[in-house]
């Protein structure tokens, strides 16, 4: 049972182990000799590592404590210092990785150098636990409308917004966004992020679905920021959004999941300049068919041309 295959990632992993645990030599020796061990973190917590799943969980925690030294990880919550404020984020049964990704790895850091959210409304589609909404408010957004299709995530988002003091500046909508107004059926018991062709083995929950046109009309959106992270539904949503509606947004931040070519063509035709990251090849096992499972992911940042 080795560490990781990539040499630079292996070095980084070792550095995080030594930085965050009280017994790094025991951890390394036990891992290399394929033995069960107890990792003792410097914050006083411990974790038994006895298989690949618990090893991955351990490594994620070393990254957490290295990148957010003020973090306190509870059974269903994560608190930490960010932007001069102590945040406490509830994640329930779903795990802390989504929150950790936004505030520790900060995937939007480079984009924020090109996007000016200060004084603007943000439409946050795919809001998860409210983490990105709080992130944008921390960067100066005046109001965030956070849309989350999965009721379990939306309930936690509402709680996180309220408990962290952002109620006046953020509205959480337990609503799906799609290419047409209607309803969406999803697995109300799922613990994985959704995607195109997600299997629905559990209880089927029906949620209302609106379009970007509906949102623009409802809130008088103009010169706003659109953040779109919908696990593969971004194509359906955008391709069904008229030009005059999408151009109500000065900036677009899109996480794509099946390549960027068609999205960039759409943006070019509607008067946006853009660049993309990736793609990164990702295999998502819980999706229903093989074509959906093979994702090519990355981000697109687009700015409306006004000349």
pTM: predicted TM-score of the whole model, two decimal places: 0.88
Residues 32 and 113 reside in one and the same domain: no
Rounded to an integer, the average pLDDT of 260-264 is: 96
Task: Determine the structural domain holding residue 23 and report its residue range.
Answer: 7-67
Q: Is residue 27 part of a domain?
A: yes
Residues 59 and 193 reside in one and the same domain: no
* Cβ-contact 293, 192 below 8 angstroms: no
Local confidence band at 199 (pLDDT 50, 70, 90 cut-offs): low
pLDDT tens for 134-169 read 999 999 999 999 999 999 999 999 999 999 999 999
* Cβ-contact 78, 100 below 8 angstroms: yes
Q: Is residue 79 part of a domain?
A: no
Residues 179 and 262 reside in one and the same domain: yes
Local confidence band at 301 (pLDDT 50, 70, 90 cut-offs): very high
Q: Is residue 179 part of a domain?
A: yes
Q: CA quadruple 59, 70, 92, 147: dihedral positive or negative?
A: negative
pLDDT tens for 233-250 read 999 999 999 999 999 999
Q: 279 preceded by cis ω (within 30°)?
A: yes
Angle at CA 122, nearest 5°, toward 303 and 172?
Answer: 150
Q: Is residue 102 part of a domain?
A: no
Q: What is the pLDDT of residue 163?
A: 97
Q: Is residue 221 part of a domain?
A: yes
* Cβ-contact 270, 247 below 8 angstroms: yes
Q: Is residue 238 part of a domain?
A: yes
pLDDT tens for 77-135 read 999 999 899 999 999 988 898 898 999 988 888 888 888 899 999 999 999 999 999 99
Domain of 178: which CATH number?
3.40.50.150
- pLDDT higher than 70, residue 201: no
Residues 163 and 288 reside in one and the same domain: yes
Angle at CA 132, nearest 5°, toward 235 and 188?
Answer: 65
Residues 52 and 128 reside in one and the same domain: no
């Amino acid at each position: 049972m080795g560490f990781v295959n990539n040499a630079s990632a292996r070095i980084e992993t070792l550095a995080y182990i030594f930085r965050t645990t009280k017994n790094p030599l025991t951890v390394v020796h036990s891992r290399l000799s394929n033995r069960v061990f107890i990792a003792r973190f410097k914050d006083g917590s411990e974790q038994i590592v006895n298989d690949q799943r618990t090893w991955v969980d351990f490594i994620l925690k070393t990254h957490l404590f290295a990148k957010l030294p003020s973090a306190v990880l509870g059974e269903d919550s994560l608190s930490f210092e960010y932007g001069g404020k102590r945040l406490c984020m509830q994640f329930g049964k779903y795990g802390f990785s989504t929150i950790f990704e936004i505030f520790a790895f900060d995937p939007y850091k480079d984009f924020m150098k090109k996007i000016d959210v200060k004084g603007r409304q943000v439409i946050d589609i795919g809001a998860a636990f409210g983490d990105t909404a709080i992130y944008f408010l921390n960067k100066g957004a005046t109001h965030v409308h956070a849309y989350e299709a999965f009721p379990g995530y939306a309930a936690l988002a509402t709680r996180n917004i309220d408990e962290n003091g952002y109620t006046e500046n953020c509205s959480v909508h337990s609503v799906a966004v799609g290419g047409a107004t209607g309803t969406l059926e999803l697995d109300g018991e799922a613990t994985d992020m959704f995607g195109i062709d997600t299997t629905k083995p559990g209880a089927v929950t029906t949620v209302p679905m609106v379009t970007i046109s509906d949102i623009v009309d409802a809130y008088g959106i103009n010169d706003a920021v659109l953040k779109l992270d919908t696990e593969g539904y971004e194509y359906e949503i955008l391709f069904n959004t008229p030009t005059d509606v999408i151009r109500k947004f000065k900036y677009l931040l899109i996480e794509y999941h099946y390549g960027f070519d068609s999205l960039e063509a759409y943006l070019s035709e509607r008067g946006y300049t853009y660049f993309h990251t990736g793609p990164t090849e990702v295999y998502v096992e819980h999706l229903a068919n093989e074509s959906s499972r093979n994702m090519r992911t990355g981000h697109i940042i687009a700015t409306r041309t006004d000349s």
